[in-house]
Amino acid sequence: MPFRRLLSTLALLLASATVNADSLVLIHGYMSSAQTWHRSGIVSILRQNGWPLAGHFGPRGFQPFPHVEANGNRVYTVDIPWAHPIEFQADVLNGFLRQIAALHPAEKIILAGHSAGGIAGRAALIRDPIPQINALITIASPHVGTPLAAKALKKTSGSGPFGVVKGLFGGNLYHTVRRSRGVLVDLLPPSRRNLLGWLNQQPHPAIHYFSVVRSNGDRVVPPFSGDMNQVPVLAGRSYLILSNSSHELSPTDGVIILDILRQLALLNGETGLQQALTGPT
């Protein structure tokens, strides 16, 4: 490549560098909060690899974090109402995503959801599509339900002769699960009467899908349920990543997310600068 042409190409690539920046949104799951991404070490791993935390969205609104480069990749955490039905969670999430889209109008948004947070993210794609969303990563999410939801509903039914006793002596966990029965119904295996039965039949946008599946050790979500390819409308569309971790988030998930982000950069053609420097291979 002639020297002048190389300089011209580099100038164009550098001028458009802001367009290639992305926003990663971390979505927590059931009985959890944005803090789970911090406690697991994932936020720290992302920050050390060029994805600093730029802000947090929650009930008190948006809390921006200073000292984050305006033109670089960034991470946002969210707190969504996990005890409410998935559709309500998705609508709250979409409100946050629209604010992020307004902050970075020319850039892509990547969603990463853990457990039920992956279902909320997928429902957000369907209920109120945001064109800037480029990818959905789900980690141990029950795309075709979890048997534990049925068990929890049965344990907290409050019916029968022992229902009153459960209410009196079930403890804080009993009452917490009982007030979240709406979302547990949404996480039952798909049927004509529940959310997953409806969601898994809806057309999904043409974005990139990544399923991080626990190959063993997950007592909450069976491996097959964590695979978006098991959803009829997404069959053959999701990249599958196997992990030996338990259901909870761990530093390994931070490494997996980084790997996916690098894959996305390749899929989105964001390696032009490197190619210009090295020339054709």
Same domain, 163 and 57: no
Same domain, 18 and 96: yes
Same domain, 39 and 115: yes
Residue type, 142: P
Find the largest Cα–Cα distance for the chain. Answer: 85
Same domain, 35 and 132: yes
Same domain, 199 and 152: no
Nearest to 56 by CA among 69, 32, 42, 74: 74
Helix (H, G, I), strand (E, B) or coil at 172: helix
Global pTM?
0.86
Cα 207 to chain center, whole Å?
14
- pLDDT confidence band for 166 (50 / 70 / 90): low
The domain that contains 16 carries what CATH number? 3.40.50.1820
In this prediction, residue 181 carries a pLDDT of 92
Same domain, 96 and 33: yes
Domain final position from 123, 158, 186:
186
Residues 121 and 209: beta-carbon distance below 8 Å: no
Domain final position from 155, 186, 217:
186
pLDDT score of 128 more than 80 = yes
Q: What is the domain range of residue 199?
A: 3-146+192-278
pLDDT score of 57 more than 80 = yes
- pLDDT confidence band for 121 (50 / 70 / 90): very high
Nearest to 110 by CA among 223, 47, 24: 24
Same domain, 104 and 168: no
Same domain, 178 and 52: no
Task: Quick: pLDDT tens for 212-269.
Answer: 999 987 999 999 999 999 999 999 999 999 999 999 999 999 999 999 999 999 998 8
Same domain, 7 and 124: yes
CB neighbour list of residue 165: distance below 8 Å, 6 or more residues apart: none
Sheet holding 133-139, edge to edge: 61-64, 53-58, 74-78, 22-27, 108-114, 133-139, 208-214, 238-243
Residues 259 and 232: beta-carbon distance below 8 Å: no
**From its phi and psi, is residue 254 left (phi > 0), alpha (psi between -120 and 50) or beta?**
alpha
In this prediction, residue 66 carries a pLDDT of 82
Q: What is the CA radius of gyration of the chain?
A: 21
Please tell me the distance from the alpha carbon of residue 146 to that of residue 226, in angstroms, as a whole number: 10
Residue type, 253: D
pLDDT score of 195 more than 50 = yes
127-136 burial by CB neighbour count: b if 16+ within 10 A, else e?
A: eeeeebbbbb
Same domain, 172 and 48: no
Same domain, 151 and 135: no
In this prediction, residue 41 carries a pLDDT of 98
Same domain, 46 and 182: no
| Number of structural domains in the chain | 2
Strands 108-114 and 208-214: unpaired
